[in-house]
Homo-oligomer: A and B are copies of this chain.
C-alpha cells in the first residue's frame, strides 16, 4: 500500500513541535495512569484513545488532555478505580454506571456490550451515566466498525454552547459519531460536534494566531464576536460568550437545527441514561463528579441484509460522491473519516507532532508523578 502523506493539522511552525513516536507516547501515558492508581487495562484504553486522537489529527483531544485527567484524579472528582456496573439490562438495551471514572474504559465496555446485544437482537443500545470525559467519540464508533458493525456514539459535555435565541453557555458541544464498515480502509467515520465548531478549534486558532470568523461565537449582549482568538477564548472561558450551535445565530441558517441536534444528544446520552444534562455536566477537575452521559449503539448489518451487498452499496455510494462535480475552489471531495485516517497513516510512520508547551507539560507531569519520561523523539522527515 502506498501511503499518501497528509496531516489534517500541520505543525505550524514546525520548529515549535517535537515529532514523537506513537508507541512510546502510548506507553508513557499508560504509565501515568497506572501510577495514579488506575488499573493496567483501563490505563491502556485511556492511552489508546488519547494517542489515537493525536494520530488522527485531533490534538485538542489528544495527550494535551493528560494534565486535565491527572488533575481530575488528584482533585477527587475522577475515580481512578471505578466500579463499572450494568444497572439496567433489558433485551437490546442496557444502562451502565461509570462510577465517575474516566469515560474511556467505561465506554469501551459499553461498546462491547452494545455489539453483544446487536449480535443477538440486530441492534444494541447502551446508555452510560455518571461518567467523565471520554476523549473522541469517534474512537468507540471506529472500534465498533472494526468488528464489522455500524457504530453510533454520542456524548454530552460541559456547557459551552448557546441554545437558539439565548446567549449563555448551556448545551455541550455534544458530538455525534457514526462509523460504517467498508471493504477497504478507511471506514466511514463521521464525528462532529453539534456546535458550529468544537472548543478545540478555537483553542487551536488561539495557539496559531488565526482570526475567528463572525458566526462562531456569541457574546452575552448578542453581539457576534470575531477576530483575535485568544481574546474570544478568554471570553468563552469567563462565561461572557458562548459557542453557537451548528447553523449559527437565530433560525435563518438553521441554528435551531444545531440546537435541536445538541438536545437530541443530551436527551439520549444525559437524560435517558440517568446522568447530568445541560449545565449539570461538570468539568473533569471539580469538587463534584462530572456526571457526563454517553450513548453507544451498534447495528448488526447481517440482520438487515447480506453483508457483501451492503459493502457493495457503500462502495458505490462513496464512488458516486467522489465523482460529483467538484466546487471550482475545492481541492478535493472528502469522505467523513478520510482526513483522520490519512493523518493517522502518516503519523504512524513519521510520528506525532507535539507542541513544545505540551511536551514540557508532559515532562512536568512525569517529574511530578516520579515516573520516567520515555517519549521517543523522532527526526523530522520531509515528505
Contact = CB atoms under 8 A, between A and B. Distances in A.
Interface of A: 88, 90-93, 95, 120-123, 125, 127, 150, 162-168, 170, 176, 178, 180, 188, 190, 192-194, 196-197, 213, 215-216, 218, 220-222, 246-250, 252-254, 256-258, 260-261, 263-264, 266-267, 271-274, 277-279, 299-301, 303-305, 309-310, 313-314, 317, 320-321, 324-330, 332-334, 336
A165 B91 contact: no
21 contacts: A92-B122, A93-B122, A93-B304, A122-B125, A123-B123, A123-B125, A162-B324, A164-B333, A165-B330, A170-B324, A178-B264, A190-B261, A190-B264, A192-B256, A249-B327, A267-B314, A267-B317, A272-B299, A272-B305, A274-B305, A277-B317
Contacts of A165: 326-327, 330, 332-334
Nearest to A309: B274
A88 B303 contact: yes
Contacts of A272: 150, 299, 301, 304-305, 310
Contacts of A247: 196, 246-247, 254
Contacts of A304: 88, 93, 95, 127, 272-274
Contacts of A326: 165-167
A164 B334 contact: yes
Nearest to A264: B178
Contacts of A264: 176, 178, 190
Contacts of A266: 317
A182 B268 CA distance: 15
Given A93-B303, A188-B267, A190-B261, 7 more contacts: A90-B122, A91-B121, A93-B121, A249-B327, A260-B336, A271-B317, A277-B317
Contacts of A248: 253
A258 to B, nearest CB: 7
Contact of A163 (B193, B256, B324): B324
A263 B328 CA distance: 22
Nearest to A314: B271
B267 A320 contact: no
A213 B254 CA distance: 12
A180 B267 contact: yes
B254 A192 contact: yes
Q: Which of A220, A254, A303 has the most CB of B within 10 A?
A: A254
